Amino acid sequence: MATYTPGPLGPLKGKMGNLVACNWRDIYYLRVKAKRSKKKPTKTQVSNRRGFGFVSTLLAPLRQFLLIQFKGYERGSDGMLSAQSYNYTNALIKTADGFDIDYRAARFCYGDLPGAQKASVVLKDENTLLITWSTEIKDLADHSDLLIWILACPAWNHLIAHEIQGSRKDGQLEVTIPPAMNLGVLHVQIAFKSLVNEKTSKSQYAGCIDFGRPAEAATTCAEDRTTAFCQASGISGALIKRVNLR
């Protein structure tokens, strides 16, 4: 592969013999035309491809969000690919009938703004979550940092919602549970966005609510644990809100 600088007539396009002109993030290069392999993929290769496909499908509704949130994770790679790679490596679980995600290990933001030392979630009433976090600040953190919350409901086709709301100094936030997300287990993560430099913290697991347990009310299924100060990436602009159903 060789890079080049486009001339006054613009960049090269298409095929030239066994070479192909390509462009990735304004980097222009030539590569050898790929040859289709005639070898049958191994079981491991098939499993890896399916696993990566599972993660890609899960994260697809958050593409624009992740392009910004994960852009600082791996130099030279865009945020979406970085998020796919990170969660494939760290959060994918192989099950008897396919794949699942470990939401304690999954991440939806990545960068260098500190997160919270502690975070938790409880069910305030049947329609409301109460998310709490420690308000200590460290290094680049500031009391004015905005909160990003992320909800994941595996039972509902991995529906995920996220929004920028509240601030670090508040220490808590009430979130209305979106329709159809009070089914099975609802996982909650949080991150922070700086108003000063637009960086965000690495998302951290706050806990989960199990609506499927036979009790008078749904119960909190997460342990109360201390989470290390987190790191994260930049996020642009104002409110980013997207609720998607695959």
pTM of the model: 0.74
pLDDT-derived band at 236, boundaries 50, 70, 90: very low
pLDDT tens digits along 113-149: 999 999 999 999 988 999 999 999 888 899 999 999 9
- Which ranges of the chain does DSSP label H, i.e. alpha helix? 43-59, 63-69, 79-90
Mean pLDDT of the 49-61 span: 91
Q: Is 166 left (phi over 0), alpha (psi -120 to 50) or beta?
A: left
pLDDT at 157: 66
Cβ 88 vs Cβ 52: under 8 Å = yes
Share the mean pLDDT of the chain.
80
Q: Provide the angle, in degrees to the nearest 10, between the axes of the packed helices 43-59 and 79-90.
A: 120
Which 3 state secondary structure label does DSSP give 51? helix
92/166: higher pLDDT: 92
Burial of 208 (0-12, 13-18, 19+ CB in 10 A): buried
What does the pLDDT read at residue 179? 80
Q: State pLDDT tens for residues 176-192.
A: 988 878 878 999 999 99
Q: How far apart are CA 160 and CA 207, in angstroms?
A: 15
